[in-house]
Homo-oligomer: A and B are copies of this chain.
Amino acid sequence: MTKNDKELIFNSQESYCKGVKYLITGVDGFVGQYFVEYVQKYEPNAEILGVDIAPNCHFPIQKYNSLNLMDKKATSDMMREFAPDYIVHLASISSVGYSWREPVKCFENNTSIMLNILEAIVQNKLKTRVLSIGSSEEYGNIPMPMTEDMPLNPQNPYAVAKVSQELLGKLYAQSMGVEIVMTRSFNHIGPRQSERFVIPSFMRQLVNIRQGAENKMLVGNISVARDFSDVRDVVDAYYKILHNGQKGEVYNVCSGHAYQLHEIITMAEEILDIKVHVEVDAERLRPNDVMLILGDNTKLRTEIGWQPQYEIKQTITDILNSMRG
């Protein structure tokens, strides 16, 4: 048992008696499952209700509610009935590409769901503490590393929607007394992530090459550098911000290290003990790709006491192992 584990169990003694209630929106996604596992590990007596628009949850969970959070009444009814102590609000249409194709839908999804949750808390007089997930996309083109007090310059409709969601969070914290804390989350990776995303897509290709099923790797611009965190460190940060963050405040969730995509490929090649032929696929090139995204996690470290437990090599190894079966 690490020091970290002991502290968490100490902090969660309360929940052994009371059965603290967690509501997790967008639970059927990548981060949702990790957050559920985290709570189950550190607060085994906690009651967990997962909500998602998917008809069924793809992993075992205590309680699941298939619900469209755009439905104000259904959201309010569900919240009143469950009366969560904590909400981790992960639900979001989070694709930048989709936000250009369907800006209105993307916008309404992010801001209306946020408002429905906040209004449900206010209307039902709940004492719920909310963690609202934002994005490094909110920053846009600004100097690196990005710190929380920098002016936001969002560059796509999804990013504007996330800025709006955050402003609504701050507003309800200030004006309505809602206990809400917020993140701007940078890239996160780990086993079980959908292969629509760049790292799992690359790792799958590398595993296939290792197993002789493919002979070359298709990539986009692999000079771009991103600030990658292990999803297990991310849910640790989310749990700690949810419990100990200051009301109305925003925290960067990032590793503070940026890796170019070709560095990640080289790391995986070493782990798999192969050398692959890399080919640029024009389909994978995006116009105006930002070359470097790098966050500063000083606030998260100093105010919340978070520190990452997973080195990038460990994360890459775990992803590759999960794919090798």
Residues of A within 8 A of B (CB): 72, 103-104, 107-108, 111-112, 115-116, 118-119, 151, 154-157, 159-161, 163-164, 167-168, 171, 174-175, 288
A171 with B160, Cβ < 8 A, contacts A103-B115, A112-B108 known = yes
Q: How far is the CB of A71 from chain B (nearest CB, A)?
A: 11
Chain B residues with Cβ below 8 Å from A118 are 103
Q: How far is the CB of A172 from chain B (nearest CB, A)?
A: 9
CA distance A164 to B168 in the complex (A): 11
Closest to A152 in B: B167
Q: Which of B72, B104, B159 contacts A72 (CB 8 A)?
A: B104
> In the complex, given contacts A103-B119, A160-B164, A163-B164, what are 4 additional A-B residue pairs having Cβ atoms less than 8 angstroms apart?
A107-B164, A154-B171, A157-B171, A163-B163
Are B163 and A167 in contact (CB-based, < 8 A)?
yes
Are A155 and B171 in contact (CB-based, < 8 A)?
yes
Q: Which of B108, B164, B175 contacts A156 (CB 8 A)?
A: B175
CA distance A159 to B172 in the complex (A): 13
Are A154 and B174 in contact (CB-based, < 8 A)?
no
- When all copies of this chain in the complex are counted, the total is 2
Chain B residues with Cβ below 8 Å from A164 are 107, 111, 160-161, 163-164, 167
Q: From A154, A156, A157, A159, name the one whose CB has the most chain B CB atoms within 10 angstroms.
A: A157
Q: How far is the CB of A289 from chain B (nearest CB, A)?
A: 13
CA distance A157 to B156 in the complex (A): 21
CA distance A115 to B156 in the complex (A): 12
Chain B residues with Cβ below 8 Å from A175 are 155-156, 288
Closest to A176 in B: B100
CA distance A46 to B154 in the complex (A): 36
CA distance A155 to B156 in the complex (A): 24
CA distance A118 to B104 in the complex (A): 11
Chain B residues with Cβ below 8 Å from A104 are 72, 111-112, 115-116, 119
Chain B residues with Cβ below 8 Å from A119 are 103-104
CA distance A175 to B160 in the complex (A): 13
Chain B residues with Cβ below 8 Å from A107 are 111-112, 115, 164
Chain B residues with Cβ below 8 Å from A167 are 154, 160, 163-164
Closest to A141 in B: B174
Q: How far is the CB of A118 from chain B (nearest CB, A)?
A: 8
CA distance A155 to B171 in the complex (A): 6
Closest to A288 in B: B175
Q: How far is the CB of A154 from chain B (nearest CB, A)?
A: 6
